[in-house]
Amino acid sequence: MPVMGRQVEVLFSSYNVTATTGYVYTDAGASNDTAGAINGDYDHIIIQICVATLNAGSFTYRIEGKYEKIDRWANIYCETVTSAHVLDKLVHVVEKPKELRIGVKVSNNASPNNFHAGAILTESY
């Protein structure tokens, strides 16, 4: 598969997650409907996830997608971990969303809870 273009979007960079009641979608802690959204119109989408430090009881992240003509975020993938570095992986998104984003939250406010996430977006021909 020849690659026409590749883009990398850093979504979280060592962000100290403190949200416990709802997901946040940016390093600034934004949680509104448009927060953290990036273009998902690529042939291949790989999400890189890392929980570098975890002091809360658990950490939950989810990859969400929004599709043509349906103006709602849908859960693509969700995972909860209970210790740091058990989550350092790549997730291949095969659903082809129009937009995508990553939401994160922790079970309690013990800090720090450092999270890293990025999207590798590839267009092929």
The per-residue pLDDT for range 71-98, each reduced to its tens digit, is: 899 999 999 988 877 678 899 999 889 9
Q: Is the dihedral of CA 81, 59, 6, 69 positive or negative?
A: positive
**Is residue 33 classed exposed, middle or buried when 0-12, 13-18 and 19+ CB atoms within 10 A define those classes?**
exposed
Terminal C-alpha separation, the chain: 7
pLDDT beyond 80 at 103: yes
CATH code (residue 52): 2.60.120.230
Query: Could you tell me what percent of the chain has a pLDDT over 70?
Result: 97
pLDDT at 125: 73
pLDDT at 58: 93
pLDDT beyond 60 at 1: no
Residues forming beta bridges with residue 7, ordered by sequence position:
121
Number of structural domains (the chain) is 1
pLDDT beyond 80 at 2: no
- pTM for this entry: 0.89
Mean pLDDT score of the chain = 91
pLDDT at 3: 63
Quote the CA–CA distance of 57 and 65 in Å, as a whole number: 27
Quote the CA–CA distance of 76 and 53 in Å, as a whole number: 24
Question: Which residues constitute the domain of residue 78?
Answer: 3-124
CB-CB contact of 42 with 81 (8 Å)? no
